[in-house]
Structure 1
Amino acid sequence: MTRTNDEPPEWAKERAREVMAAETDDDGATGGGATDDRAAEGGDADRVPDVPAETVDEAERLTRLARRTEDESAAAFYRERRDELVDEHGYVPRLRDEDDTLVLYPDEWMDDGTVQLDRIETTDRAVEVSLSGPGDADRYREVAAYNDAVADAVADAHDAVHADTARSFAAFMSNHYVRAVDDATPEVREEFREEYFPRNGWPSDEQLAVLDESLDVIESVAADVDGPEES
């Protein structure tokens, strides 16, 4: 998965130089009193950036899901989940269209949705994730191929009622989570069972009656299907 970029945007680097110059003028030496005070308090020592890597990864995943789905209500749901997730760590997500990048800004930098340059104390606290990395499409194809192979294996070994559900579950896991069918958490299964399948799977009464059995069949069959590799 794409990680944060090493190089901050040019505008941010320029602003950082201005802030450093101002501190030099005020204190008579580079990195003067304000920086020393923060170091003494221990407040900013670990804030580069102060959002966990797993939160960045999940924000990226939710952003990609929102972009991939054709259902606007689902896209809005993914974006809301992402926003709430990063807000728990005091960050605000933004999409930078010119280079297709997800940016997480500390919320104290923001005012009415816009970054205030005079509030940036160090550009290292921002997080940038490219959304156009070449590995994303490859990973999707790999996972989708595996899930389709599991659905085909279910069709070969079991009744059509299980095969039809397996195809719906494969599409759900590939398109909504980019995860293998046998990597579904209980919460993901519940979402499929209660929300996705009734609305998008067009299930028959027979499918609904044996849905839990079908999910168990899918997991059992998947154990004998190779792939995909861990990302």
Structure 2
Amino acid sequence: MSELPADTVEDAERLTKLARQVGNSDEADAYRQRREEALAAHAYTARVREEDETLVLYPDEWLDDGTVVLDRIEDTDRAVEIPLGDAHDEGTFEEIEAHNDALVEAVAEEYDPEHAENVRAFADFMGNHYLARVDSATDEQIEEFTTEYYERNAWPDKKQQEVVETSLEHVFAVSEADCPSPASE
């Protein structure tokens, strides 16, 4: 079983995908550096196996000058492999942002401004944290947005806070996607 916390694995995947999607090499390097720092805190190293587009996270003790030494591997379950080119790939950052922007605009056209502001915050959250379209959000992502991200990062006013759940329903309505509901507390 991997020693890496699940949130570190998710961060490594997200940062790797962002680095692969951006057009700017300096920005890609910054994402890779953040990934390496997060993994170093747990004595792990990342590599992308290009032949099958897989992110592999290795314990540092397996490596010698950047090369895996097979004799040092006692338990292969300590490594983590994450497919990067799977069917859940929703496009480049620019494509995802354009899609999310269109949904924010649709909400702005049909509903009150506070709903559009809430949906903009949700679009930023989904694009920046998950490299995903707002209408593909899972129950867990909606729960994370409403309970952890929203107040700390969106700085909503009182009216926005009162209608945030309705705002999320509106984005799914304009996209014609099914709306997951936040997990009950």
Tell me which residue corresponds to 2:170: 224
Are 1:154 and 2:108 an aligned pair? yes
Question: Greater shift after overlay, 62-71 or 91-100?
Answer: 62-71
Counterpart of 2:76, as a letter, is T
* Distance change >3 Å, CA 115–CA 187, structure 1 → 2: farther
Determine the C-alpha separation between the residues in 1 that align with 2:52 and 2:150.
Answer: 37
Map 1:79-228 → 2, pairs under 5 A: 79-137=32-90, 145=99, 148-157=102-111, 172-173=124-125, 175-177=127-129, 178=131, 180=134, 183=145, 185=149, 189=153, 221-222=167-168, 224-226=170-172
Contact kept, 8 Å, 1:68 with 1:175, in 2: the verdict is no
RMSD: 4.0
Aligned partner of residue 137 in structure 1, secondary structure: coil
Q: Are 2:118 and 2:167, in contact at CA under 8 Å, matched by a contact in 1?
A: no
Q: Which residue of 2 aligns with 1:70?
A: 23
Matches within 5 A, 1:7-18: none
| Partners of 1:96 and 1:102 within 8 A in 2 | yes
Q: Which has the larger radius of gyration?
A: 1
Q: Give the length in aligned residue pairs.
A: 158
8 Å contact 1:148–1:167 — kept in the other structure? no
Shift of 1:72: 2.4
Residue 188 of structure 1: how far off its partner (Å): 8.2
Report deviation, 1:111: 1.7
Question: 1:169: how far off?
Answer: 6.5
Contact 1:94 1:103 in 2 (8 A): yes
Residue 105 of structure 1, CA deviation? 0.6
Q: Secondary structure of the residue that 1:50 maps to in structure 2?
A: coil
**CA deviation vs aligned residue, 1:201-224 (integer Å, no higher than 9, x gap):** xxxxxxxxxx977xx599574453
Distance in 1 separating the partners of 2:171 and 2:119: 15
Change beyond 3 A, Cα 1:222–1:171: closer
> Unpaired segments of 5 or more residues in structure 1?
1-47, 191-210
Aligned mates of 1:222, 1:53 — CA distance in 2: 26
Q: Give distance in 1, aligned partners of 2:48 and 2:151.
A: 28
**CA deviation profile, 1:44-96 (whole Å, cap 9, x unmatched):** xxxx2211223212211111111112232322222111111111111111111
Report the counterpart of residue 16 of structure 1 in structure 2.
none
Distance 1:225 1:119 in 2: 50
1:117 maps to amino acid: L
Q: Match of 1:135, SS?
A: coil
The alignment-based identity, stated in percent, is 37
CA distance 1:125–1:167, change in 2 (3 Å): closer
